[in-house]
Amino acid sequence: MSGQLATSDLPAGYHDVPYVAERLRPRRRAIARNLTAAAAVPSLTADMRVDLTQLLAVRSQWVGREPSVLAFIAKAAVATLADFPGLNASYGDRQLIRWSTVNLGVAVDSPDGLMVPVIRDAQTLGVDRIAERIADLARRARSGELELADLAGGTFTISNPGAVGPSLRAEALLNVPQVALLGLPGLRREPVVVGEGQEENVAIRTVLDPSLTFDHRALDGGEVLRYLTSLRDRLESWSLAEYAAGE
C-alpha cells in the first residue's frame, strides 16, 4: 500500500524529494522491533578459519542422498555446545539460564523477511535428520506455512548468509534472549599451509570462516574462542561414526 505522507512524517529536508511510500507489513515491523532489541545488547564477534577437507570427504562417501554442508556444521556446532553450556543460554538481569536441551534456530531468508524456525532437541538428531528438518522448515518458511510454535523456544541460532551469496564474513545481531549466534559465510577455495616442519607445503583447500556473535554480558572472549577452536577441531577431523548417530 502506498500513498502521500504528511510533511511531518518525512525526514527533515526531504519535503521536496519525490517518493513512493510503502506501508510496512506487521511481520516487517515485528522484525524491526526484534532487531532494535538485539542492537541494544553489548555484543562482540569472534572468527575462526576451518579447513573443510575432511568434512567434504566424508560427505562424498555418504550412503544415500548427501546432506547439506550446513547440516554437517549444525551437527558439530550442537555437539560442541555440550562442552560449553554457557553458549546455549539466555541472559537475565538476575540470572543466566543454561538450557538443558538445544533448540536450534536456523535463520531462513523468506519472502516475508528473515525468519528463524527451530529444530527442537537437535542434540538427539544425526546429520540426516538435521538436514531433513532444515529443508522442511526452510520450505515452510518460504511458503508461509510456519506456525508460531515453529518459531518459539530457540536456545542457539545458526545464520547462513553464505547460502544467499559469497559473503566473506557472517557477523550478525543476536537472536535475543539467546546469548550466542553462529554465522556461516560462503565457502571459499584458498591456498592453505598444511603439514609441519619439513613436511610443510601449500595446498588449495575449501575453507570456511565461521563467526560467533555473543552477548558480552553473559560470555567472555576466552570461552567463545575455546568453543570455536573445539568446533574447528570437530569439523577438521570429522568422524562419520561419531556425528552421524541420532534418530
Query: Any idea which residues carry the catalytic annotation?
Result: 216, 220
Cell of 73: 556444521
Smallest Cα–Cα separation from 45: which of 142, 147, 150, 184?
A: 184
Long-range contacts of 115-121 (CB under 8 A, 24+ apart): 115/141, 115/146, 115/151, 116/151, 116/154, 116/157, 116/175, 117/141, 117/146, 117/150, 117/151, 118/150, 118/151, 118/152, 118/153, 118/154, 120/153
Which residues lie closer than 8 Å to 215 by C-beta, 6 or more apart?
41, 42, 43, 91, 174, 178, 179, 180
The residue among 64, 70, 75, 151 whose CA lies nearest residue 113 is: 151
